[in-house]
């Protein structure tokens, strides 16, 4: 089991920014690909971004809907993966989950991820 914990969600106005964090207390994320998914009200869960491990050059993939606004990154020393979200829109309102597995690709398919956090709520007001 990978004990993923998300934090950083909250309420923000349209156009604002938030930074989400994903960590795993007592467990190294160094060799895992980490992804962010979200599930808005009445919507299916969708992939947002993912980042490969350091030994895979930390390559990233993002959904078209967030390209240019969201940035995924990882801090090996802090054992944390971040999702920097800028220019937030009401449509970004969702519960955001981080997930871990051995790899990811542009398809951001949730079935490819075995380990999941509990999620953090992001609400963007208009």
Give 3-state DSSP helix, strand, coil % of the chain, rounded to 5.
Answer: 5, 45, 50
pLDDT of res. 35: 98
pLDDT of res. 56: 84
pLDDT of res. 28: 94
pLDDT of res. 93: 98
Q: What is the mean pLDDT of each run of 10 residues along the chain (126 residues)?
A: 95 98 95 97 97 90 96 96 98 98 91 96 97
Reading the block at residue 13, the tokens are: 């106005």
pLDDT of res. 122: 98
**What is d(CA 24, CA 91) in angstroms, rounded to the nearest whole number?**
28
- How many Cβ atoms are within 10 Å of 28's Cβ, its own excluded? 10
Specify which residues 5 forms β-bridges with: 23
Q: Cα 123 from chain centroid?
A: 15
pLDDT of res. 20: 98
pLDDT of res. 54: 85
pLDDT of res. 55: 85
Reading the block at residue 91, the tokens are: 């449509």
Question: Between the CA of residue 4 and those of 26, 65, 70, 96, what are the distances in Å?
Answer: 10, 25, 20, 12
pLDDT of res. 90: 97
| Antiparallel, parallel or unpaired: β 80-85 and 5-7 | unpaired
């Amino acid at each position: 089991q990978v004990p993923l914990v998300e934090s950083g969600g909250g309420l923000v106005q349209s156009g604002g920014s938030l930074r989400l964090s994903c960590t795993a207390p007592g467990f190294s994320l160094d060799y895992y690909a980490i992804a962010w998914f979200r599930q808005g009200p009445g919507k299916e869960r969708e992939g947002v971004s993912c980042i490969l491990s350091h030994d895979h050059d930390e390559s990233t993939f993002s959904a078209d809907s967030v390209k240019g606004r969201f940035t995924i990154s990882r801090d090996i020393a802090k054992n944390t993966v971040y999702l920097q979200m800028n220019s937030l829109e009401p449509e970004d309102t969702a519960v955001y989950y981080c997930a871990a597995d051995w790899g990811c690709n542009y398809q951001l398919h949730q079935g490819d991820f075995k380990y999941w956090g509990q999620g953090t709520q992001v609400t963007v007001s208009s």
